[in-house]
Amino acid sequence: MIIKQNKNTMQKFKLAFLSAWLIVFSCADKPRGFADHVQWMNLSQAAASLQKEKKPILIDLYTDWCGWCKVMDKKTYSNKNVAEYVQQKFYPVKVNAESKDAITWNGRTYQFNSDYKCNEFAMYVTGGQLSFPTTVFIAEDGQPQAIPGYLEPKDFELLVKYFGEGAYGKVPFDDYRKKFKSTW
């Protein structure tokens, strides 16, 4: 009887200790600079940030119903290498292409277009070629460069570094791709 009580007490103690350990370490701060997913901002925040420091903008253009958009969030934008690089080199912006809210960018306001069932901003940044997900890069020249479709981290690396390293507009993409060495 005493052995059984001691065994139950020991199991309860182990469970309490394990629970406390999990709580402590799940609440612990991550090391500074570590990101396990991209910390998104809106276009207004990106515009304000551009006034302080010039960086290219990366836009994740998505819709609520898009399955591949969700996969890209889960597999690409939650990848540690992707998240850290995007946070360091870009102003990351998430835009719902079907937003009915007005979107203001560079002094122009874009509205929801009921004929196309999307916001005019999505039409602008994709050149009217709607596809989801679409990754849009806006470099210092201010012109959006849209890359349609789902991108795995290894495929995303080439593109994000082409814009993040400032090669866009200076080095032809094919030349950059031939010399590119993946580090992820």
What confidence tier does 26 reach under pLDDT thresholds 50, 70, 90?
Answer: very low
Tell me if 153 is assigned to some domain.
Answer: yes
Instruction: Look up residue 47 and give its amino acid.
Output: A
Tell me the Cα Rg of the chain: 22
Residues 6 or more apart in contact with residue 132 via CB below 8 angstroms: 61, 62, 63, 66, 68, 69, 97, 148
Task: Check: CB of residue 29 under 8 Å from CB of residue 61.
Answer: no
pLDDT digits (tens, 9 = 90+) for 118-173: 999 999 999 999 999 999 999 988 999 999 999 999 999 999 999 999 999 999 99
- The predicted pLDDT at position 25 comes to 37
Instruction: Report phi then psi at 168, rounded to 5.
Output: -55, 130
Task: Check: CB of residue 69 under 8 Å from CB of residue 131.
Answer: no
- For residue 2, pLDDT over 80 is answered with no
Instruction: Look up residue 22 and give its amino acid.
Output: L
Tell me if 13 is assigned to some domain.
Answer: no
Task: Look up the CATH number of the domain holding residue 161.
Answer: 3.40.30.10
Continuous segment of H or E residues that includes residue 104: strand 103-105
Tell me if 1 is assigned to some domain.
Answer: no
User: What range defines the domain where residue 93 resides?
Assistant: 31-179
